[in-house]
Structure 1
Amino acid sequence: MKGFIILLLSLSCSISMAQENMPLSNSHVIKPNIVYILADDLGIGDVSGLNPEAKVNTPNIEKLIHNGMTFTDAHTTSSVCTPSRYSIMTGEYSWRTKLKGRVLDGYSKALIEEDKDTAPKLLQRNGYETAMIGKWHLGWNWQFKTEETFEMDPKNPYQFKEDISDKVDYSKPFTGGPTDCGFDYFFGLNASLDFPPYVYSENNKLITIPTATMKPDGKDKNFPGGRKKDLVGGQKLKRKGDKAPDFKAEQVMLDLTNKSVDYIANYKEEKPFFLYLPLTAPHTPVYPREEFVGTSKAGIYGDFIQELDWTVGQIVSALKEKGIEENTIIIFTADNGASKTSFPEEFEDTYKHRPSAHLKGRKASLHQGGHTVPFIVQWKNVVKPNSKNNTTISLGDLYATCADLLHAETDKNQGVDSYSILPLLKGNNKYNRESSVYSNFAGRFSIRKGDWKMDLNPKKGSSYLINIAEDPSEKNNLFYNEAYSAKVQELTTALNKVILDGRSTPGEPLKNKGPKIWNNLFWLKNKK
């Protein structure tokens, strides 16, 4: 009998150990809440915890740094917002669509197609409640007052050639927006705060009919010295257009913060939630609330960043008060580097503040400062506190990371440029991405592979080859040095494969939307 009991105990231990090593099914996966905070036009030098020389104070973001992991080499897929945000949502480079460059405006058609999977759709399918509060900037399809066909802009197939604002029926629901792309709830804005219409939407309808007109503000050709010297005016940039009568740009950050805090406070805990918070600071118009004006040493731009930091603090406090911070992944990052309009280069000497820190370039550029962004992850009891990871990652990795987190099966032809960073978060250096591709406002290309980065430009003398490990500030261009011709060829071959295969993840080659070879692929176009 004694031997039988020992045998049972031995079998029980063996089964237990085997179960511990078995992959968890979806039903047994512990599902953390996910809060993804996206700043709008923020450089790595704009966070005091990442830049000791910063003339701003961001204590709430610093707490995330102290409690979590900082990725020191995180990049957006583009140095401007629409394509960068597309990659966050879909795990795919935006130039795989018909949008080969530039950004959308407030009346552009939906960029994300119905059959495209997204990170929020994936999370919905796996038991998450999903919400977005903030700036969309990926287009949606308005309904019109009459049945008409409008010509599209030849430079942007998602944008109308003419102003169609007076043709839109603002009372009708729109399609192709956040709630059609995986969000159960949406509150926010169609595009940037300098694009009309200036009005909030909830789910798939406007909250208020925009019956007033926003007066234009910003750069003035009659300003002493002309547009280039109108520094303060540029920071106020707003385009003329329709607005809700009670809409105030300087209140938007507060409104988004309050909505987010309310969402967390009212969370029922029946499902885990994904809360996507694409905020509007410090993008133009640079309008900090009165209580933040004068609080930094970097002018109103620094003041606006400090309001952004306050928002981060409010979100974390709401999670703590709800008692769910321990089981919530908090990600703080930005859609691209700092804008020259929000903080003109001349102000770097005036205030001794450098938004890109030691990096060259700003928003819209292929240089490092255009697409290198803060990326901080707090995940209590999983991510090592106050840790750093130097792996070159991409914001397009959200899709694959969510799938990995939930052990979720996905279509291999979705999220075709996304790689999971979950092993990195858990202290394992496994990360399968061989190269990263970046684009700029004009739709030109850059590739990073290992320590090497190459920017291609048809203008003579304007292409770059940089060893980022040895030259992070991009001062020594090796592109035209014959000794590095083999490296140029290696990176060109790698870039061609990523583009022409229609994917960078393993799988059968796919086709990109639009022409196989377009103008920005000038090095391939010239070979035809």
Structure 2
Amino acid sequence: MLAIAVVMTAMTNKPAAKTPNIVLFFIDDLGYGDLSVTGALGYKTPNLDQMAVEGTRFTNFMAAQAVCSASRAALLTGCYPNRVGVYGAFGPASPLGLSPKEETIAELVKAQGYATGIFGKWHLGSDQEFLPLQQGFDEYYGVPYSHDMWPLHPWQEQAKYPPLHWIDGNKPGKEIKNLEDASELTPVITEHATAFIRKNKNKPFFLYVPHPLPHVPLAVSNKFKGKSERGIFGDVLMELDWSVGEIMKELKTQGLDENTLVIFTSDNGPWLNYGDHAGSSGGFREGKGTSFEGGQREPCIMRWPGVVPAGRVSNQLLSTLDILPTIAKLTGAKLPKEKIDGIEFTALLKGDESKSPREEFLYYYRKNSLEAVRKHDWKLVFAHPGRTYEGSLPGQNGKPGPSPEDHAFPEALYNLERDPGERYNVLEQNPEIVAELRKIADTAREDLGDDLQQKTGKNARPVGTAVRK
């Protein structure tokens, strides 16, 4: 009896397993084919390749929308961006931002005692009431929106944008006046991220690293200038890979590597009309600003030694929407009070491929237009006007080629298992599948609305609007 009591006492006094640190990389305009592990040529991304060797690469991973602000709102809230009223990319003069009433990943884990930091591009409202420190983050150093929204805009040189400053907490810092200043973006963000790890090594933390590059205009430090065979785009990718390596190295130095989940993905596909200054969609159709796979299917690698299987490739359908509920599950955080669209995939993350956590996905774009729906490998694209890069010669040396915004896309059904490039319309051959997908669309329109059908969603919430004097 005494032995049993000792064992029971030992079991009772055993400390609870530590919740993991979270490091989340969110790269800007990175295409599916822009890593050497996904087929890039002319440069190498050895740190990300090694991360894929030591973790799991998800090949069917979707950004929630193929444009900056909307994509970031979805990542941080676990909601389709139109559910939280966020559309497109907020400009510097916009009074709009992610509503402070929405609960972000940072707010959820902060309630669990996590330190929270963001270093990089925010783009969810530049008025102070919308900045990261008001959205659950303890620390922020970065740029408030895309770094082409400045007086040296690469293709509208007379555009009257205000000066672009680094933001330190809530206050403007050093001005980014030219491409030489912009070449500091990746190194400075990396320095702040590694310092955050050192500062918080004795407590759990959530580190969000939304790098502004390789969004144009491209800029790279002298350390990487001219190092690739792909020109400045390759140089920039080599520096971003270096940044990932430095942050991973810091985790190991501080003894945190074994208890840190690292997630690497992108906000949307490449801005293809920039030609040699743009990335690759890896063979998927179209790119940024479209609801075809090249606009929303992103590279995604997740690593957590001993928890996430090493060297695995998972083809299960997932989305940035699903990151919030999964982090909540892993950290013991409560889910947001309001409805979200993400689905937690903890079992899949840890290696259980027996069931797909996500069966359906909605492709919204423009202000609130439902352009396509997907179930498993079937994707129904509705007739809609949209951007196309096809049939136009891309630009060179930082100048864009044309990308017509009102191309008329017809209704089409694609089987992504056999036709990931979305080239063969099999709509007439599969009436039952089309009917099933149309029902999913009808439900989505009731829930979130659809501008193309002039429907207002019952469960869409308002965007934040700044109070300006």
| TM-based fold match above 0.5 | yes
- Asked if structure 2 preserves the Cα contact closer than 8 Å seen for 1:36 and 1:330, the reply is yes
Query: Residue 131 of structure 1: CA displacement?
Result: 0.4
State whether structure 2 residue 111 is matched by structure 1 residue 97: no
Q: How does 1:121-200 map to 2 (within 5 A)?
A: 121-141=107-127, 174-196=128-150, 197-200=163-166
Query: Residue 108 of structure 1: CA displacement?
Result: 2.3
- Judged with a 3 Å threshold, the aligned counterparts in structure 2 of structure 1 residues 490 and 107 are, in CA distance, closer, same or farther, namely same
State whether structure 2 residue 312 is matched by structure 1 residue 325: no
CA displacement, residues 200-248 of structure 1 (integer Å, 9 cap, x when unaligned): 111112125x6x9x58xxxxxxxxxxxxxxxxxxxx8xxxxxxxxxx81
Distance of 1:91 and 1:43 partners within structure 2 = 22
Query: Residue 458 of structure 1: CA displacement?
Result: 3.4
1:492 corresponds in structure 2 to: 438
2:412 corresponds in structure 1 to: 464
1:250 corresponds in structure 2 to: 183
Query: Residue 411 of structure 1: CA displacement?
Result: 4.2
Q: How does 1:355-434 map to 2 (within 5 A)?
A: 355-411=280-336, 413-414=338-339, 416-429=340-353, 430-434=355-359
Structure 2 alignment gaps of length 5 or more: 151-162, 386-407, 458-469
- Judged with a 3 Å threshold, the aligned counterparts in structure 2 of structure 1 residues 122 and 70 are, in CA distance, closer, same or farther, namely same
- Asked if structure 1 preserves the Cα contact closer than 8 Å seen for 2:377 and 2:416, the reply is yes
What SS does the aligned partner of 1:388 have? strand
- Asked if structure 1 preserves the Cα contact closer than 8 Å seen for 2:121 and 2:145, the reply is yes
Query: Residue 398 of structure 1: CA displacement?
Result: 1.6
Task: List 4+ stretches of structure 1 deviating above 4 A.
Answer: 11-17, 522-525
Aligned residue identity for 1:265:
R
Distance of 2:167 and 2:288 partners within structure 1 = 27
Query: Residue 461 of structure 1: CA displacement?
Result: 5.2
- Judged with a 3 Å threshold, the aligned counterparts in structure 2 of structure 1 residues 116 and 518 are, in CA distance, closer, same or farther, namely same
Q: How does 1:270-285 map to 2 (within 5 A)?
A: 271-285=203-217
What SS does the aligned partner of 2:116 have? strand
CA displacement, residues 373-398 of structure 1 (integer Å, 9 cap, x when unaligned): 11101101111111111111001112
Distance of 2:196 and 2:206 partners within structure 1 = 11
Alignment TM-score, normalising by the size of structure 1: 0.74
Distance of 2:324 and 2:223 partners within structure 1 = 38
- Judged with a 3 Å threshold, the aligned counterparts in structure 2 of structure 1 residues 40 and 342 are, in CA distance, closer, same or farther, namely farther
Q: CA RMSD in A?
A: 2.8
1:448 corresponds in structure 2 to: 374
Distance of 2:124 and 2:88 partners within structure 1 = 12
What SS does the aligned partner of 1:405 have? helix
Aligned residue identity for 1:35:
V
CA displacement, residues 403-433 of structure 1 (integer Å, 9 cap, x when unaligned): 111233334524x101112111111234433
Match of 1:266 among 180, 187, 199: 199
1:153 corresponds in structure 2 to: none
1:160 corresponds in structure 2 to: none
- Asked if structure 2 preserves the Cα contact closer than 8 Å seen for 1:331 and 1:375, the reply is yes
Aligned residue identity for 2:432:
A
- Asked if structure 2 preserves the Cα contact closer than 8 Å seen for 1:73 and 1:392, the reply is yes
Distance of 2:72 and 2:409 partners within structure 1 = 31
Q: How does 1:38-53 map to 2 (within 5 A)?
A: 38-51=26-39
Distance of 1:279 and 1:498 partners within structure 2 = 32
Report the count of equivalent residues: 421
1:116 corresponds in structure 2 to: 102
Distance of 1:374 and 1:57 partners within structure 2 = 15
Query: Residue 34 of structure 1: CA displacement?
Result: 0.7
- Asked if structure 2 preserves the Cα contact closer than 8 Å seen for 1:46 and 1:56, the reply is no
